[in-house]
A and B are shown apart, each in its own frame.
Chain A
Amino acid sequence: KQEVTQIPAALSVPEGENLVLNCSFTDSAIYNLQWFRQDPGKGLTSLLLIQSSQREQTSGRLNASLDKSSGRSTLYIAASQPGDSATYLCALFTGTASKLTFGTGTRLQVTL
């Protein structure tokens, strides 16, 4: 059974800092990995999707990497802003009945 862990569970940083969120998974047989953002009481916003054949994806201040062999993905946020405050979730698609397995999430707070 795929287990997905995100570290840290919560993080508070001052505005302007660069930061890294981590996602670890136990089964490397994945099709792709996604990073989502969730604001309190809201649905999910897809940030980046990395196919299993790719090593990284970039969108604006966000960069996600994938290392299947070590079972790890990182989400790098450059020059953090208060508007980045949210919960960040990674999710793995293994192709089994099109299911996504979500990580435990990291609650990020960017302070002024």
Chain B
Amino acid sequence: GAVVSQHPSRVICKSGTSVKIECRSLDFQATTMFWYRQFPKQSLMLMATSNEGSKATYEQGVEKDKFLINHASLTLSTLTVTSAHPEDSSFYICSATQEGDIQYFGAGTRLSVL
């Protein structure tokens, strides 16, 4: 089956620093990757959709300058949380799709901002 690797699984950082999260499709080329955010005991909320070689499409209410997304290749997308603050602490999950409907999910990244 298709495998999506997300790294790191957990990161703790100081307020004001930037954090980069990587999402890789290991055995397929991902035409589209998605980034989700999940608050404790809540469902996943889509943050943005990224297509290889083009700018990401952000959902309403998501600050694109805060959450920088780069999809430089068909196997890698990155999410950078810039100038992180405690309210950015959350669980971030990526997914990737090749054929447009089946999304394969990474294991998630727990971000804690002190």
Q: Measuring CB to CB, which residues of chain A are less than 8 angstroms from any residue of chain B?
A: 31-32, 36, 41-44, 46, 49, 89, 93, 95, 97-105, 107
Please report the C-alpha to C-alpha distance between residue A98 and residue B45 in the assembled complex, in whole angstroms.
15
Please report the C-alpha to C-alpha distance between residue A34 and residue B54 in the assembled complex, in whole angstroms.
28
Q: Name which residue of chain B comes closest to A49, CB basis.
A: B102
Assess whether A107 is in contact with B44, with CB atoms less than 8 Å apart.
no
Residues of A with C-beta under 8 A to B95 = 44, 100
Given A95-B101, A97-B57, A99-B34, 6 extra CB contacts under 8 A: A41-B110, A44-B95, A98-B49, A98-B103, A100-B34, A100-B95
Residues of B with C-beta under 8 A to A32 = 101
Classify chain B: how many residues form its interface, as a range.
20 to 34
Please report the C-alpha to C-alpha distance between residue A85 and residue B100 in the assembled complex, in whole angstroms.
30
Task: Identify the interface centre among B34, B93, B102: most chain A CB within 10 Å of its CB.
Answer: B102
Residues of A with C-beta under 8 A to B93 = 43-44
Residues of A with C-beta under 8 A to B46 = 99-101
